[in-house]
Amino acid sequence: MIIRLGLRAFLLASTCYSAGAQSPVIAAGGVVNAASYTQPVAPGSLVAIFGTNLAPGVYSASTTPWPITLAGTSVSINGIAAPLSYVSPTQINAQVPSSLPFSYGAYITANVVVTSAAGVSAPAAVSIWEEGPGVFTTDASGCGQAAALNIAPDGSFSPNSPSNSAAPGDVIAVFGTGFGLPYASPSDGTPASAAQRLQFAGGFAMNGAALLPLKYFGLAPGLVGLDQANVPIPADTREGCAVPLAVGGALSFSPAVTVSIRSSRGQCIDPPTQSYGTITLSRTIATGTSEDGETDTLAASFPSGPQLTRPLETQTPTAGYVSGVHPPAGPARSCPVPGYSQLSAGDIVVSGPKASVTAAPVTVAGSTTYSLSLPQGFVSGGAYSISAAGSAAIRAFQGSITLDPPIQITGRQVPANISSGEPITVQWTGGAPSSVVKVSLVYKSFLTDYTAYGYTSAGSGSYSFQPFCTGNPVSAGGNGVVCAFGLPGLSELVVEQMPAADQVSSFQAGGITSNIQASWIYRYVIGVAPQ
Give the model's pLDDT for residue 252.
87
β-strand pairing of 277-287 with 516-527: parallel
Query: Would you say residue 60 lies in a domain?
Result: yes
Query: Would you say residue 316 lies in a domain?
Result: yes
Instruction: Note the pLDDT tens digit of each residue in 113-164.
Output: 999 999 999 999 999 999 999 999 999 999 999 999 999 888 889 999 999 9
**Res 6 pLDDT > 90:** no
C-alpha to C-alpha distance for 517 and 235, rounded to whole angstroms: 29
Task: With cut-offs at 50, 70 and 90, classify the pLDDT of residue 49.
Answer: very high
Give the model's pLDDT for residue 320.
85
Q: Are residues 55 and 140 in the same domain?
A: yes
Query: Which of 72, 65, 77 has its CA nearest to residue 89?
Result: 72
Q: Are residues 104 and 221 in the same domain?
A: yes
Q: Are residues 200 and 295 in the same domain?
A: no
Average pLDDT taken over every residue of the chain: 91
Query: Would you say residue 390 lies in a domain?
Result: no
C-alpha to C-alpha distance for 59 and 54, rounded to whole angstroms: 12
Give the model's pLDDT for residue 217.
96
Lowest mean pLDDT among 131-145, 321-335, 482-496, 498-512: 321-335
Say what the pTM is.
0.86
Given a contact cutoff of 8 angstroms between Cβ atoms, the answer to whether 41 and 56 are in contact is no
Q: Give the H or E element holding residue 244.
A: strand 240-248
Lowest mean pLDDT among 6-10, 36-40, 399-403: 6-10
Query: Which of 51, 61, 59 has its CA nearest to residue 91?
Result: 51
C-alpha to C-alpha distance for 233 and 169, rounded to whole angstroms: 5
Given a contact cutoff of 8 angstroms between Cβ atoms, the answer to whether 396 and 328 are in contact is no
Query: Would you say residue 382 lies in a domain?
Result: no
Q: Are residues 108 and 190 in the same domain?
A: yes
Q: Are residues 218 and 281 in the same domain?
A: no
Query: Which of 174, 177, 176, 150 has its CA nearest to residue 161?
Result: 150
Query: Would you say residue 394 lies in a domain?
Result: no
The residue out of 190, 209, 227 marking a domain boundary is 227
C-alpha to C-alpha distance for 201 and 444, rounded to whole angstroms: 23
Give the model's pLDDT for residue 479.
65
Name the β-bridge partners of 287: 526
Given a contact cutoff of 8 angstroms between Cβ atoms, the answer to whether 136 and 147 are in contact is yes
Query: Which H, E and C letters describe 216-239, residue by residue?
Result: EEEECCCCCCCEEEEEECCCCCCC
The residue out of 227, 262, 294 marking a domain boundary is 227
**Res 474 pLDDT > 80:** no
Task: With cut-offs at 50, 70 and 90, classify the pLDDT of residue 258.
Answer: very high
C-alpha to C-alpha distance for 114 and 31, rounded to whole angstroms: 11
Task: With cut-offs at 50, 70 and 90, classify the pLDDT of residue 251.
Answer: confident
Check which CATH number belongs to the domain holding 15 and give it.
2.60.40.10
C-alpha to C-alpha distance for 309 and 340, rounded to whole angstroms: 12
Instruction: Note the pLDDT tens digit of each residue in 431-460.
Output: 999 899 999 999 987 667 889 999 999 999
**Res 324 pLDDT > 80:** yes
Q: Give the H or E element holding residue 241.
A: strand 240-248
The residue segments making up the domain with residue 317 are 272-330+405-531
Q: Are residues 47 and 181 in the same domain?
A: yes
Q: Are residues 78 and 211 in the same domain?
A: yes
The CA distances from residue 296 to 285, 340, 373, 520, 521, in Å, are 9, 29, 6, 11, 10
Q: How many domains does the chain have?
A: 2
Q: Are residues 119 and 181 in the same domain?
A: yes
C-alpha to C-alpha distance for 458 and 439, rounded to whole angstroms: 11
Lowest mean pLDDT among 21-25, 71-75, 169-173, 221-225: 21-25
**Res 308 pLDDT > 80:** yes
Dihedral, 455, 456, 462, 466 alpha carbons, nearest 10: -50
Cα R_g (the chain), whole angstroms? 27
Given a contact cutoff of 8 angstroms between Cβ atoms, the answer to whether 114 and 24 are in contact is yes
Q: Spell out the residues 6+ positions from residue 146 whose beta carbon is closer than 8 angstroms to its own.
A: 135, 136, 137, 138, 160, 174, 245, 257, 258, 259
Give the model's pLDDT for residue 10.
38
Q: Are residues 86 and 206 in the same domain?
A: yes
Edge-to-edge, what's the strand order for the sheet holding 303-306? 273-275, 303-306, 341-342
Q: Are residues 180 and 297 in the same domain?
A: no
Read off the pLDDT of each residue in 465-488 and give the average, rounded to a whole number.
Answer: 78
What are phi and psi for residue 380, nearest 5 degrees?
Answer: -155, -175
Q: Give the H or E element holding residue 424.
A: strand 424-430
Given a contact cutoff of 8 angstroms between Cβ atoms, the answer to whether 217 and 229 are in contact is yes
C-alpha to C-alpha distance for 362 and 301, rounded to whole angstroms: 11
Query: Would you say residue 430 lies in a domain?
Result: yes
Name the β-bridge partners of 49: 31, 92
Query: Would you say residue 283 lies in a domain?
Result: yes
**Res 16 pLDDT > 80:** no
C-alpha to C-alpha distance for 111 and 88, rounded to whole angstroms: 20
Q: Are residues 293 and 436 in the same domain?
A: yes
Q: Spell out the residues 6+ positions from residue 514 whose beta carbon is closer than 8 angstroms to its own.
A: 274, 275, 276, 277, 309, 310
3-state SS class at 82: coil
Give the model's pLDDT for residue 531.
56
Instruction: Please say whether the dihedral angle defined by the alpha carbons of residues 453, 454, 457 and 459, taken in this order, is positive or negative.
Output: negative
Query: Which of 112, 462, 505 has its CA nearest to residue 278?
Result: 505
Query: Would you say residue 128 lies in a domain?
Result: yes
**Res 362 pLDDT > 80:** yes
The residue out of 193, 227, 261 marking a domain boundary is 227
Q: Are residues 184 and 297 in the same domain?
A: no
Given a contact cutoff of 8 angstroms between Cβ atoms, the answer to whether 518 and 279 are in contact is yes
What secondary structure letter does DSSP report for 198? B
